[in-house]
Chains A and B, each alone.
Chain A
Amino acid sequence: MRDEVRPAHLRGDRADIVLSVHNLTKTFGTPSGAQVQAVAGVSFDIAAGETLGLVGESGCGKTTVGRALIHLPPPSSGEVVLEGRPMSGLSAAELRALRPRLQMVFQDPISSLNPKHSIADIVEAPLVVLGGIDRRRRQEQVREMLTAVGLDPDIVWNRRPHELSGGQCQRVSIARALILRPRLLICDEPVSSLDVSVQAQILNLLEDAKQRFGLTMLFVAHDLAVVKNISDRVAVMYLGRICEIAPSAQLYGRAAHPYTAALLASVPDPAPQAKRRIGRAIEGEIPSPLDPPSGCRFRTRCPKAAPVCAADEPVLRPIGPDHFVACHFPNL
């Protein structure tokens, strides 16, 4: 990684960086032959034991970032460095050997479990793939892990996924991801398809698991309220780029980017009378990534847009301790 292009918000000086992503891009071809840049140069890093929240509207590329990290599919360009080892250019076998280090929990708890397999088989599968553990030891570990995620092994052991609730399925999914004892857990909207009451239980479970198994987490979500409590730092994405990254409290207290402010304002207010609005709710549709606006990508919906926003694309620059924003006119 060349130092002169290292973005200011990457903390290359810290020794405990688990994951470092530099200038990640992912381009998809459309059937008509056009190229869509779903992720356009994203950089971030996550230190050991840290949880980074990645938020943005649907279609901003946050899920694509999560999948590019596990190389399914691999990024078009850019560097992913896991525990000091670059993942690009690895052979299929080397990549497979690395997979237990980073695991993923998916959005749809039903779709992410094979309907034909029993819960025990689903959680055991990663150990079978890993190999070298006898059947009795594997089943012991499955039992332990099911208990750790709050399921009774004796009850769910032979059940199929459709016999469980969405929340229970997500617990199974988490058990499957954790049984390999990964260093990094990527959660791709793990609670978006769950009932609100179950959401909190799953978030608590993830928080517990993080302590218990010493996890480092990337938490992808579109719901700022969900991300707020679980994340140490939050990165806000818009149309394939990061527009603001800051410690959680800082971001929610003093959002500097107009987009972040608008996102916060669009969280439904439980008590509309007690107003503490930071900005107006966002209007209009997200522009097509096929033809992103020139300069700042948010300018078409930004209340502060000026001619300079169309001409120059703002880069992430520091505006406070650990607080970076890509905007010509940040709210300070």
Chain B
Amino acid sequence: MTLSVAERERIKVVGPRRRWGDLLVALPAAWLGVAVLAAVFAPLLPIPDPFRQALLRTLQPPSAVHLLGTDALGRDVFARSVLGLRVSLVVGIGSVVFGLGIGGTLGLVAGYFRGRTDLWISAVMTVILSFPPLVLAIAIMSYAGPSLALVIVALGILFVPAFARIARANTLSLAEREFVLAARAMGMRDLGILMQEVLPNLVAPLIAYSMLMVAVAIIGEAALSFLGLSVPPPQPTLGGMIAAERANLLEAPWAVFGPALFLFLTILSLNVAGDQVQRRLDQREAAL
């Protein structure tokens, strides 16, 4: 059965499910907003100096001064977690932008020109995909030594094939649409068709997927820093903090669970919000 455009417009999801959906976007968005603001303005926040050691007040339990207690060197866990979150977000967003930029472009080109171009690009993507992801990241990091830019690139390379595949699959079906034929018939060049006709239709699926991938990148960065392969100390990272304090887990659980909570809430928020965004985009696409 085919519905006219006007009929499809009228069919919309209403009722309690919709309200649940709104809440599922609002709560994660609120946490992410607070997290990003805290990370950006960390130096201005009224919190203790995250680098100041106090060897007489190590492993203090949470108090009004130290919201999440202190670690084995007497440093404020809350302040360090905020700074660690900063690294997580920079790496998460940076590596996804890297993967999106390179992977998206490669996928667009492969899906539009097909033939040999597609064959080569797809072959390279398959090779990257055939590496165990974390092992590849560890190899890159231990070869070149830890630095922020390198973490971003190492994780970003891992995202290139996934974004390339999504861009390619969408481009393949878009290039068959008659509006692309119409653009060719009016004499538009390939570059114009790619940028003006195909790309605007790729933005929505890629953005929705990006949110989920930022969560994956943050987990990846946490794993690398847990192994001591991310940004070097004294810069705190969430994974590095967990690794350093795990010996004191029984006496001072806050020193481990503080950064873990930051990690957990951020990843959960990204996943839930990303899911909701994707679902809504799917609904909208289906209505077109």
Contacts and interface: CB of A to CB of B under 8 A. Distances in A.
B177 A111 contact: yes
A104 B177 CA distance: 14
A96 interface: yes
Contacts of B178: 106-108, 111-112
B185 interface: yes
Chain B: interface secondary structure? helix
- In this complex, the interface size class of chain B, counting residues with CB under 8 Å from chain A, is 20 to 34
A106 B181 contact: yes
A104 to B, nearest CB: 5
Contacts of B196: 125
A125 B181 contact: no
Contact of B185 (A104, A115, A162, A164): A104
Nearest to A97: B187
Interface in A103-117: 103-104, 106-108, 110-117
Contacts, number: 70
Given A114-B201, A115-B288, A165-B6, A126 B186 contact: yes
A180 to B, nearest CB: 7
Interface in B155-184: 177-179, 181-184
B179 A180 contact: no
A112 B187 contact: no
A99 B5 contact: no
B192 interface: yes
Interface string B113-124: 000000000000
A176 B181 CA distance: 13
A94 to B, nearest CB: 11
A173 to B, nearest CB: 8
B187 A130 contact: yes
Contact of A125 (B177, B188, B288): B188
Contacts of A100: 186-187
Contacts of A67: 181
B179 A162 contact: no
B277 to A, nearest CB: 17
Contacts of B192: 129
A129 B187 CA distance: 7
A162 B284 CA distance: 11
Contacts of B132: none
Contact of B183 (A107, A125, A165, A180): A125
A103 B6 contact: no
B187 A162 contact: no
B187 A117 contact: no
Contacts of A173: 182
B200 interface: yes
Contacts of B288: 110, 115, 162
B186 A114 contact: no
B249 interface: no
A168 to B, nearest CB: 9
Given A100-B187, A115-B288, 19 more contacts: A67-B181, A70-B185, A72-B184, A99-B186, A100-B186, A103-B185, A104-B182, A106-B178, A114-B197, A125-B183, A125-B188, A125-B196, A126-B186, A126-B187, A129-B192, A130-B186, A164-B5, A165-B4, A173-B182
27 contacts: A67-B181, A96-B189, A97-B187, A99-B187, A100-B186, A104-B181, A104-B185, A106-B182, A107-B178, A108-B178, A110-B288, A111-B177, A111-B178, A112-B181, A112-B182, A116-B200, A125-B188, A129-B186, A129-B188, A129-B192, A162-B5, A162-B287, A163-B9, A164-B5, A166-B4, A166-B5, A176-B186
Interface of A: 67, 70, 72, 96-97, 99-100, 103-104, 106-108, 110-117, 125-126, 129-130, 162-166, 173, 176, 180
